[in-house]
Amino acid sequence: MNTATAIALRNEIGKGLRFAWSERLQILIELPMFAVFVILLGPLLGQGQNLASGRVDWSLNSQTTSAMVVWFVPFTYFYMQVVKMFWRLLGEIQAGTIEQVHLSPLPPWLTAAAGRVAAAILETLFVAAATYGIVSTFVTIRLHWTAAALLPAAAIMIAAIGLSLIIAGATLVYKRIQIVNDLVLLMVMLFSASALPLIHVPGWWRAAGHAFPATDGVGSLYNTMLAHRSVTSAWGTGGLIPLLAVSTAYLLAGIGAFILGEHVAKNRGTLGRY
């Protein structure tokens, strides 16, 4: 890596971190919501019939809640990476500064991604730690902490970067598509639930789940941190081969989508114009 590239990369990461710091109040406001969601949804899973007849047991089950934390933390990273990258990019498009990105020696997709990755990791670590702390005051969370979990964690990050680049590419062309963010993240969340023994899901849901970027990552984290299975098992939900294949495919698709979106916007002359 030559000096100019290294400096540009460092600058983008630094800019992302400064943005994250400027949004610290927003993150503090967001933080309790993640914990509340886990605490609130835990006792309600599968209780539909009881709820319809007006009965609800608000006690939290340790096993279910632990699985929900494993499900929810990767989703937090997806949120931090995808949603915030979208808003930042949209701001740059609307202000016209997106065109200046092309003055950088870095490829534009790397400029967009690098500015967000480090900040999203730090934000997620902070939110995950706080969520863990808040939830564990209500119920014991039993997780097997092992370095092997770093493999699915890295795969989840790569998949999230890929997804954020796909959304970013679409943003360059279609601009205000925040609702697409919501739809995509919802799909990621719903289908990743098929990797956990939280609810009974139909076969098609389980099969379709593999095509979504978080499912096998969540499955692998569950295998490693809750089910005491090896992270190197090749197949099945959370298996090493689907985990790596899906993450790599999303990253490549993301880079491709960003380049395509940029190409279309440049040809239309709408890169920095709303």
Partner 1 sequence: MSAIVIPRTGAAEPAPRWFALPAFGNEAGKGLRLMWRRRFMVVVAATTFGLTYLGISLFVGGGHLVKDLMVLTVPALLAVVIANTAAVQGTGGIAEEINGGTLEQTRLSPASPQLQALGRMTALAIEGLAVAIVLGIVFVFGIGLDIDPHPAVLLPVLLTIGDALGYGLIMTALVVRVPSIGAITHVANMVIMAFGGVLIPVGLFPHGMQVFARFIPTALGVQSVNTILAGHGLAATWSDGTLPWLLAHAAVVVTAGLGLYVINIRHAQREGGLSPR
**Cβ closest to partner 1, residue 32 vs residue 105:** 32
**Cβ closest to partner 1, residue 151 vs residue 184:** 184
Residue choice 6, 29, 207, 211 for contact with partner 1 (CB under 8 A): 29
Residue choice 134, 154, 173, 187 for contact with partner 1 (CB under 8 A): 187
**Cβ closest to partner 1, residue 15 vs residue 229:** 15
Provide the minimum distance between the beta carbon of 24 and partner 1 in the complex, in angstroms, as a whole number. 11
Range in contact with partner 1 (rule: CB under 8 A) among 30-38, 107-115, 210-218, 263-271: 30-38
Residue choice 193, 218, 251, 257 for contact with partner 1 (CB under 8 A): 193
**Cβ closest to partner 1, residue 41 vs residue 249:** 41
Identity of the amino acid at 122:
L
Provide the minimum distance between the beta carbon of 190 and partner 1 in the complex, in angstroms, as a whole number. 4
Is 41 among the residues that bind partner 1 (CB under 8 A)?
A: yes
Is 274 among the residues that bind partner 1 (CB under 8 A)?
A: yes
Query: Which residues lie closer than 8 Å to 209 by C-beta, 6 or more apart?
Result: 191, 192, 194, 195, 201, 215, 237
Query: Which residues lie closer than 8 Å to 73 by C-beta, 6 or more apart?
Result: 124, 128, 131
Residue choice 4, 6, 7, 33 for contact with partner 1 (CB under 8 A): 33
Is 61 among the residues that bind partner 1 (CB under 8 A)?
A: no
Is 270 among the residues that bind partner 1 (CB under 8 A)?
A: no
Total residues interacting with partner 1, rule: CB under 8 A = 50
Is 121 among the residues that bind partner 1 (CB under 8 A)?
A: no
Is 202 among the residues that bind partner 1 (CB under 8 A)?
A: yes
Could you list the residues that contact partner 1 (CB under 8 A)? 19, 22-23, 26, 29-30, 33, 36-37, 40-41, 44-49, 51-54, 56, 58, 79, 83-84, 87, 90-91, 94-95, 176-183, 186-187, 189-190, 193, 198-202, 274
